[in-house]
Structures are given as structure tokens and as C-alpha cells.
Structure 1
């Protein structure tokens, strides 16, 4: 029986909803694994949930994720926002954001998956991020929305801040319509919003955060205030001053460019949170995307990123442009369907429509419908597809032996034509499937050989502009 793809983007199972992921590589019992700690979207009608779960993968294979179960339950009968976990000595410390992030406690464990116990209240605030430096000193970063960010060194108890080290607003912070503030420190263009995550990269202290843009960014299709970015600044000290870096990740999907370089998003952007991590010699950005019709069913994503230091001491992170071998600029890496399958998803597996990174052209705003059944064969359909909608996947791997057919499965039997296009949503048509309303699944012959790695797109054509479709899954044979 044909299997379903696993460990793509999102890299956790499609039934799991872990946003705000802070990745950490820990060696425990002689095994190095990358662990992801994030909030847990299980309330369905609001952000996050009342527990944290832990997932990990061996550093050699980021497609093979293991569920470790619940690591921490709320001790205050409250919703838990984004946490962080660090190791110091032989103990793991979880900074749990109780009461929707307004109370941060630190709990401890002897294993990276917990359970984390004995919580102690701290003076840290919203979205805590913690850095254990090379000399074993510990620094905490926090803050969010219209409130400024903060940095402070921690005492050896991992709970108490050294008050004399407290730095307020090292980045400048954003305003937002639901919490307007004017305290003389607001930046409206390149502004800290939330999601503090400190990392040490090439000797530099890197402050990763969610940026809120107030200005339009036409090349990315951003024309209204937007905080779908993960961005960074860097410094020679833990406290700054911080040099402008750039944007590492944007969760607006594939960006379509016109002849003037203006972009159009093809995925529903939403809040973003995560960090970078070096895993087995390669750097990745861990972030999240949205599913459903709100921001309450987010999923963990990752992409490879490039990291380089210029001769001028500037640190570049993301999709880097080089000139004569020297880094000169960087921009956000593309949002893909493949994630850790860096050579492309195996085209001969069942691939859920829910891995799409391009959903474009629907009159009804098509979206990935969240699902929570814990099954290996779970698919998350894209619903509210209408005539002219394209659904794209970057990228699939066809290998050196070209398949002969493509099969598409809808959730319901309806009348439609579905065209397979290669490499672009306007690319050449490689197959056409005619659904006559009698079957949910149709197989068609490919009209040309396809080998190697390609983006694929499915175009939906209907004679009825009011008809809508649910695209379930597809495969090649």
C-alpha cells in the first residue's frame, strides 16, 4: 500500500499544531537530537493551549520526528504562550509563559523532554528567550507588541535577574492598533513586535524577533501592516548596541513577481515566531504557518538558511547574495512544501494537499482545513477552491525514472478539470484530469517525461463559477 509523505512542511504530523517553535540541539545519553519547544494550538478558538508537548528528530534526519508527549501542564489554570528551554550544567530549564504570557516561571528537568517540574516565578515577561553563553553566563530577552523588549543577565538560580544589568528597549518597538503607545521609543518602519530569541552565531549575539512592518513592501506583496516576518539584529555584546540585520523568514507563501518586480502573496500570512539553529553542520530557520480561517491552528515549519560573515564584520542570515565570493545582502528564504526534504518530496508517495505553499486565485479564499485525528494517513484538504484556483508545491523529487501517470483525489465527487502544471502556476501543462462527477479520484497519463526536482501546480477549471472543491491529495506512478 502506498504510504503518505511525512516530515515535509509542516514537518510534524498534519494533525499536530505547534507554533512558536524554539529549536535546540541537545546531546542526551550519547545521542544528539534537535528538540522543538513551542506553544500548543489545541483550544481551537484562541491561541495556544494548557500544555506544552515536545518533538525531536535525530540531527542526521530532520524528516524523522518523534513525539515525547506532554512536557509541562499549566500550574495556574491558564493558557500557556510561547516557552523556551535551555541546558545549563546537567539540568534543562523551561521558561513557561503562564497566564497568556503575563507570568513567566522556570521549571526544571533532567531530560530534554521533561517533565518540567517545580516552577519558580520570575520577573521575565512576554515571549521569553534565553541564552546560555560560552562562559556559562545566562541572559534573558523578552517583550512584546507595544511594550518594549528587555535584556538582563540571570543569577545562577536561573530565575532571578540581575537588576543592575537590565536594558530597556534595545531595538525600538512597534505600535499596534489594539494597544497604542507613544513613549518616545516607537519605530513604525523596522520595529520589534514580539518573539525574542537570542542566539550566538559566529561570535555575534543575534537577536531574532518578529518584526512588524508598517510600511508597504511591494516586492513581497505586503500592502498593509504585517508581522509575518522573522528578522534579526546582531551585536558584539549580549546587550547591544544591535546592528540592523534583515528578514530571515516570511510566511506569506510563494511570492509571485510581475514585470516590475512587485509581488503577490499566495498563502495567508499571520504572526510568526521561531529561531535559527545549526543542525549537523547546516543552518535552518524554524517558524510557523497558519491554517484554517484564523491564527488558532498554526503548524511548525522549517527551511535551510545560509549564514555568512562579511569582511566588514556584518552577519548575513537568510537567502544571501554573493559578489565575488563575498556576501553583500540577504532576503527571506522561500517558503516551501519540502522543508527538511531538501532534495524534494518523493513524488511517488501520497502527498496531502495540506503541504501546499501556494494557494492562489480562489473567489472564496481557499485554505488548508485543520485536522486533529492522530493518523498516519491523515490528509488536510484545501477547501473553498473555485474556478481558476492554483495550488502549488515546492518541490517534488521525481528521480531519474520518469513516472507515467498522476492521480488526484478530491474530497467529494464533482465535475471539474484539473490541470497539472510544471515549475510555475502558468507553466506547461503536463497532464489534464477530467472529473465527471462520478468519482473522487482520477488518474491521467503524463504527456512528457518528468525527472529530477520540480515545483508542481494544480489548476482547477469549472464551468460553474459558484462551485467549490476540496482538494485532498495526489501522487505520481
Structure 2
């Protein structure tokens, strides 16, 4: 049993010990090989955002489940905390915009290798969360801002802006005590942070973290929320951007709630990432939280559909078509599978840390209510380390979307669960209230259990673990599971 392989490159796609949020993906060719490089912050401080170094991860364009760490590529010049960077290529040089001093000082460093190290930092005129676009004609544009948005063309030095091109509020800004009272805020489409300009169908697409001040009941959101990655588009890089939509939301599977209102099944948090075409398929790269705070974030990705209608309107995400024409789009589903598009191999060890649904519990709601269950972050650099779900209470369900069972039904399910009370664990399929295909009855103190499957399981399925006990206390920790 212990010789089984662990799933690698699922969602989150980096090893579970790594915490790289704010991911800006780029496809670069270097030494004759095309790879996706991921540049982001590095959550190493554990009690606040980010850390003092930047690391680079990459994967071959034909296998986004196979990520390699290239190590530290940049360290802040004064030991200050580095926020979200961006990296672009112009000519044979790679330019990193490193956000020192918590994003208040943007330094430009260079390398001849996309993995770095990036050296010779120079101060730029940019600010928080810089996103850079090198256009087809060689012109370079920068977008930046926190709760208020700015953009401009850069001079040839890649550091300074052409003052006459500076624009503000191509996306209206957030409603905050520090935002200007200029009438340029928007409670339905407020720019929060995470500027990322990209190009799609010859149009300029601006990806950003939106803050909604209006409820989004279809996604179970009944509060101010910036768990969305959204986009607008334009015919020119610094023009008037038109409404696009939302691409990603990190609140997990959306469920019909007991009162008829939709509910999230995972605790949302801030979001940051971008859109990238890899080997003919577009993906949204984003991040999620582990469930208690925003200081152990994890890199996530999902395939997305992209389209343009006959009027030039851009659609990104999960697209609805009518008579062959795109007519609407919505955020793609948050999954456990990521680039394993046919589902996670059910016969490998699957960490509980790949759950995209933690719901119910004694208090009800996502993560089992305030102070409920969460994915415990791990930091030991072991690719076979699992990230357990802890503080589980009775009636909690933990879901994985999706697993691949293949053409032959497994005989048993095995799970590493630390029983803190006597409990029953039901394994359900397709829905968190779906058919029970196996049950574990565990006594307090037991650490593993195996149960026989009672029905056929083939193909790609969603799988849920339901934890039940008469105790009102914490009843279990869930580490990993597999099928045989």
C-alpha cells in the first residue's frame, strides 16, 4: 500500500508544501524549449502576506502537471517584503518588475534566462501590482494600482512612463476610505488590485481582481467580496475598456443551500492571476486560501474557453453558445483536477488538501462555519507530504472534483483519517448528498480504515467524504485516501 504513488500536479498544481500566490504565467522559449514560467509572490512569512524572496516554477507546455522549481530568482535589495511581480521578454532579455517594500517600490531587474537570477535592479515609476504588456509592435505598456487603476506606455528604458500617455480608471475604482471621492467608483465593477494586461483575438484584455459591493447570490456571495478574477477588453491598449465578465472565483463548488439560497463550499479569499494560452489551450491561473487566513495561498489553474462574437465582444470562462455564437460567460468551476483534465487517478494517493468543497459541519456553511475545518498548511519540502484537513466536526462533507476510476471498478476505498471520536465516514459520489458507495466505521484513536465498495465506479466522478458522529466536538483529521 505504501508503495503507491502520490498524485502530483493536481490543483493546487505545485507541491502542497509550496505557497506561491499572485501567479503571472508566461510561455517563454529558452534553449530551444517552450515552458510555462510562473512568477508570483512567495508566502513564507506565515503570519502576513508574502516573503523576502521570489521563486520561479516552470512546466513543459505539453504537461502542466509536471512542475519544476528553479529556486530563488530575486531577493529584495533591502530585505523588505516582496509583493506580486511580473516578468516579460523583449529581445533576448527578460525583465522582472519586482514589488519591494510591500509593493510600494517597483524595481526592474533583468536576466538572459527566464528562470533568473534577475540582477541590476533599477527603480521604476510604477507602483503596486505592476502588469506589463509588450505589444506586437514592440511598444510596452504598464498597468498598476491598488483600489485605483493606472496605465501608461513605457519609455525604451522600460522603467519610466511617457507622461502624456498616463490614464487613470480604465476600470473604475473600489469604494474605500483612501480612494478619491471623484465619482469614479463602481459597486458592481470595482478595480481592487492584480493588474494583468494580455492580448486575445487582437484585442487588449485587462485581467484584474474585482471587488463586488453588491451581492452575487448565484455564487453564494452575500457580502463585499474580492474572490473574483475578472476582465474587460478594448481595441487599443490604453483606450476605453468595455465590460467583460468574471473568469475565476475561489469559493469552491457552489451549492444550493438549505434555505434555497446558493452557498459557497470553500472559504473565498483574495484572488490574483492571469490568462495564458499554453499549447493551444487557454488557462486561467489564480490562487486560493487554505481556509483560515490569506498567508498560505496556493497556485491553481483551470482550462477556460475563449471566444469572440461577430461584434467583437470577448468571452472568457465557461461560455454559453446559441446557434454557434457565444452569448454569455461565467466563472469556470474551481476543481481538484486542474491540468489533470480527465480527473485524478483514483488509484494513487490523493491528499485531502486537494479538496474544493469543505461544507456543513456543526455550524453549517463553508468550512463548517467560522472557526471550522481547514486545510492545514505544510512547509516541509517533501513532494509526498500531504496537507490534511483538520478541525472536522460532524456533518462536514469534503469533496473532490474530479477523480478518474477508469474502466474497472475498484474493490475498496482506503483513507488515512485520525478519529478523535467514534465516527462514521460515508463515501458519496457525484454530489455531496449522492449515493453512498462505501462507509468506514471508526473508533476513537484509529488512524486508517478500509471499506468495500458496494457499487460500480468507472469513469470520471466527483467524490465526497461525509463525517458523522454524535459528538459536537472536533471528531477527525483527514489526511489522504485511495481506491484499490
Following superposition, the deviation at residue 259 of structure 1 comes to 9.4
Please give the residue correspondences for 1:87-236 in structure 2 after superposition, counting only pairs within 5 Å: 87-145=89-147, 148-176=148-176, 179=178, 181-236=180-235
Larger deviation: 182-191 or 21-30?
182-191
Cα deviation digits, residues 176-208 of structure 1 (max 9, x gap): 36x354222111221111000000101000000
SS in 1 for 2:102: helix
Task: Compute the RMSD of aligned alpha carbons.
Answer: 1.3
SS in 2 for 1:458: strand
The whole-number CA distance in structure 1 between the counterparts of 2:255 and 2:338 is 20
Unaligned runs of at least 5 residues, structure 2: 363-370
Following superposition, the deviation at residue 242 of structure 1 comes to 0.5
**TM-score (structure 2 length as normaliser):** 0.96
The whole-number CA distance in structure 2 between the counterparts of 1:467 and 1:58 is 42
SS in 2 for 1:164: helix
CA contact (8 A) 2:315 2:329 kept: yes
SS in 2 for 1:54: strand
Following superposition, the deviation at residue 466 of structure 1 comes to 1.7
The whole-number CA distance in structure 2 between the counterparts of 1:468 and 1:402 is 30
1:457 is aligned to 464
CA contact (8 A) 1:234 1:240 kept: no
The whole-number CA distance in structure 2 between the counterparts of 1:38 and 1:262 is 35
Cα deviation digits, residues 159-179 of structure 1 (max 9, x gap): 1111111111111101136x3
2:431 is aligned to 424
1:14 is aligned to 16
Following superposition, the deviation at residue 292 of structure 1 comes to 4.5
SS in 2 for 1:439: coil
Cα deviation digits, residues 365-385 of structure 1 (max 9, x gap): 111010101112201111111
1:253 matched to 2:252? The reply is: yes
2:300 is aligned to 301
1:74 is aligned to 76
CA contact (8 A) 1:94 1:108 kept: yes
Aligned pair count reads 474
Larger deviation: 458-467 or 191-200?
458-467
The whole-number CA distance in structure 1 between the counterparts of 2:479 and 2:412 is 18
Following superposition, the deviation at residue 3 of structure 1 comes to 1.1
The whole-number CA distance in structure 2 between the counterparts of 1:261 and 1:466 is 28
Larger deviation: 275-284 or 250-259?
250-259
Alignment CA distance shift 1:247-1:261 (3 Å): farther
SS in 2 for 1:100: helix
Structure 2 residue corresponding to 1:396, chosen from 403, 407, 412: 403
Which consecutive segments of 4 or more residues in structure 1 shift more than 3 A? 258-262, 411-414
**TM-score (structure 1 length as normaliser):** 0.98
2:282 is aligned to 283
The whole-number CA distance in structure 1 between the counterparts of 2:242 and 2:168 is 16
